[in-house]
Structure 1
């Protein structure tokens, strides 16, 4: 079955490499509490509000920022998209159904987890949950799809 939105199967291996590298590096950065200013660069910020009296506030300003955590996040997102939306070697109606069911399940499960967090988790810990929530729909989808595919 030919789907217009799927990438070629050749993107799956680079996707796994990016996804795994991003996840491992991100977990190490979080667990070992490394300084995320490892790689500081001057970057364009669409909006910046360092402090009330800073001269560097406003739209489209150049700031110095540690971009290591942004690179990790991009690796996870790009890798996850490549893995999740690359064709399988045999892409048929069954795989299409597994993909669709996994995507729906991942979105519903993600929002159930988010509702639980809204009710029971507060303050800065909740902010951390929101950061993780950027990645969880894609990760839940990939995990669920590959589990269902392995069972078939």
Structure 2
């Protein structure tokens, strides 16, 4: 089975490390509401709209921002992509079918959850739902694919 979109199997372990570190530090950041000035640096913001009365509002502004949450999100996304789209040691038709079915299942599950959240969650809390929703398709795909692979 020729799969052009899969990367080498050697990226699976570094992917798991990035994903697990990202998930653990992300959970810590969310539950503790930790604010750090440790990695506060000047960054380019494509649009900055902190407040209506800010002098620094507009497009392509240099702002000072803590990049801890961005690093955590990148760890989760890059690690998840490395885990989800690394070849298995034996990449055959069965694994291909499990991968495809898991991906379809994850997307359907993701949008069902999103529909429910659109109906029942409002205001700024909905923004948090959208942030978490950015990770759910990838995480559900990885969980479902590995569960089906383990089960068989």
Q: TM-score, normalised by structure 1?
A: 0.96
* Alignment-derived partner of residue 14 in structure 2: 14
- Equivalences for residues 1-152 of structure 1 within 5 A: 1-152=1-152
Unaligned runs of 5+ in 1: none
Displacement after TM superposition at 1:41 (Å): 0.5
**CA offsets per residue over residues 26-52 of structure 1, 9 Å max, x none?**
000111111154421100111112222
SS across alignment from 2:2: coil
**CA offsets per residue over residues 49-86 of structure 1, 9 Å max, x none?**
22223221222111001110000000000000000000
Give, in whole Å, the separation in 2 of the partners of 1:29 and 1:55: 30
C-alpha distance 105-37 of structure 1, shift in aligned 2 (>3 A): farther
Unaligned runs of 5+ in 2: none
Give, in whole Å, the separation in 2 of the partners of 1:111 and 1:66: 31
**CA offsets per residue over residues 126-152 of structure 1, 9 Å max, x none?**
221111000000000000000000011
